[in-house]
Amino acid sequence: MDFALNEDQEMFRSYLRKYLDKVGQTKVAREFIKGNTNEFTVVMNGLAELGATAINIPEENEGLGLGAVDLVPVFEEMGRVVLPGIYLETMAFAVPLLEKYGTEEQKAKYLPDIAAGNKQLSLAWLEPVKDYSLDQIECAVKEEGETLVINGVKELVPDADFADAFIVVVRNSNDGLSLILVDRDDELSIRPQKCMDESRHLGEITFDEWAVPKSQLLGSWNQGVNLLEEGILYLNAGLSSLLVGGMEKVVGMATEYANIREQFGQPIGRFQAIKHTIVDMKMDLEMARSLSYYASWTLEEMDAEKQKAAVYSARAFATEAFIRLASENIQIHGGIGFTEEIDCHLFLKRARFYEHYLGSVRDYNELLASALGWNKNETSKNMKAEKVVHGQ
């Protein structure tokens, strides 16, 4: 494949960059941290007018009918400005699953509104004092006629206060897992939770005999594991591009500062220690970019096993590299790198936020090893690695 975006994708990227530069780049995240979320809402409306929320939605559902690779420039540009929100969860998790497994009623209910920028979906997976292993899911659902009744607690739900609906991972009475679409309601109990990355909001949702129509079941009963596995591939491919965008900005910041900050009468960028560090940062960036492009490309062109290897390698490498680059950026900036006046801390906090999001780097490395067949005792280790996603 050609490890570069085509002319149309690059042109769309330039529109997005001009728009996000015009609204102040990281200013939106900074206002979001202060509690002023109005600017974020305005920016998301602007991105919707540019078509960013319609990219991978089918044309029959009022979208543009494009693919996962066409989302890459959007994710990268959002990563460059550490934009808050659940665009990632909506476009790279909810939309692919709704498109493939949603009923016609569900598609008509959600996809046109997502395309217009009027609706966003989040993922309610993690439960208190649990990890992402699905065998630990206790949030229960039971059938009562034409109604599904949910009981349980989900925590660390991304931007629960902004989401219009949630895809909730639940356990059936026959011990299988399913996904339920739950619309936001004023009576739904949502408690804000603190987050190290203050440009992201998290929430705890309590379902107490919460009833939804049976038509809100996404896919079939007991199909939750397969849906999650597929959805997580799309989400992590998108996340890799988001991380690449952040890395690109960090490398730019470090290079610019190294060229203007003088020590002993010359820019610090002339010292080998700084010069070599920036070269290493640039190499990590380009490696992560190639891996993320390939990961998104495999979602449309390759079989499931090759998709897993590509996506898990991109996710694991980009996550570690982003943390490394954001940390080096602070070191290059010296003392001011530790202050809140400049943006270095925003990128390091965002990098750390994604370090354990939907599994740790170690988890994804194990999944990658299984996908590549590197395990000596492949059967037992595959079972261990798949537990992260499947919980089985």
251 and 365 part of one domain: yes
pTM (whole model) above 0.85:
yes
Domain boundary among 191, 222, 253: 222
54 and 87 part of one domain: yes
Q: Which residues pair with 135 in a beta bridge?
A: none
Does residue 185 sit in helix, strand or coil?
A: coil
Q: Which residue is associated with the tokens 């009623």?
A: 105
Which range marks the domain in which residue 33 is found?
Answer: 7-119
Q: Which residue is associated with the tokens 């203050």?
A: 198
What does the pLDDT read at residue 1? 55
310 and 275 part of one domain: yes
243 and 310 part of one domain: yes
130 and 215 part of one domain: yes
How do residues 281-337 score in pLDDT, each as one tens digit? 999 999 999 999 999 999 988 888 899 999 999 999 999 999 999 999 999 999 898
280 and 296 part of one domain: yes
19 and 74 part of one domain: yes
How do residues 253-286 score in pLDDT, each as one tens digit? 999 999 999 999 999 999 999 999 999 999 999 9
Domain boundary among 160, 191, 222: 222
How do residues 340-379 score in pLDDT, each as one tens digit? 999 999 999 999 999 999 999 999 999 999 998 887 555 4
DSSP 77: H
The torsion angle over the Cα atoms of residues 10, 348, 47 and 86, rounded to 10 degrees, is 120
Q: Is there a contact between 91 and 296 (Cβ–Cβ < 8 Å)?
A: no
How do residues 175-211 score in pLDDT, each as one tens digit? 899 999 999 998 999 999 999 999 999 999 999 999 9
The torsion angle over the Cα atoms of residues 263, 266, 268 and 271, rounded to 10 degrees, is -110
243 and 340 part of one domain: yes
238 and 315 part of one domain: yes
What does the pLDDT read at residue 374? 82
Give domain status of residue 380, yes or no.
Answer: no
What does the pLDDT read at residue 2? 63
Closest CA to 121 of 177, 167, 69, 59: 167
pLDDT, averaged across the chain? 93
Rounded to whole angstroms, the Cα distance separating 268 from 270 reads: 5
| Integer-rounded Cα radius of gyration of the chain | 21
- The type of residue at 97 is L
How do residues 283-296 score in pLDDT, each as one tens digit? 999 999 999 999 99
In this prediction, residue 226 has a pLDDT band, given cuts at 50, 70 and 90, of very high
E strand or H helix at 267: strand 266-267
Give me the CATH number covering residue 177.
2.40.110.10
According to the 3-state scheme, what is the secondary structure of 282-309? Answer: HHHHHHHHHHHHHHHHHHHHCCHHHHHH
Does residue 121 sit in helix, strand or coil?
A: strand
218 and 142 part of one domain: yes
The tokens for 88 are: 């990632």
Give domain status of residue 286, yes or no.
Answer: yes
**How crowded is residue 330: how many other Cβ atoms within 10 Å of its Cβ?**
21
Give domain status of residue 246, yes or no.
Answer: yes
130 and 95 part of one domain: no
What does the pLDDT read at residue 304? 85
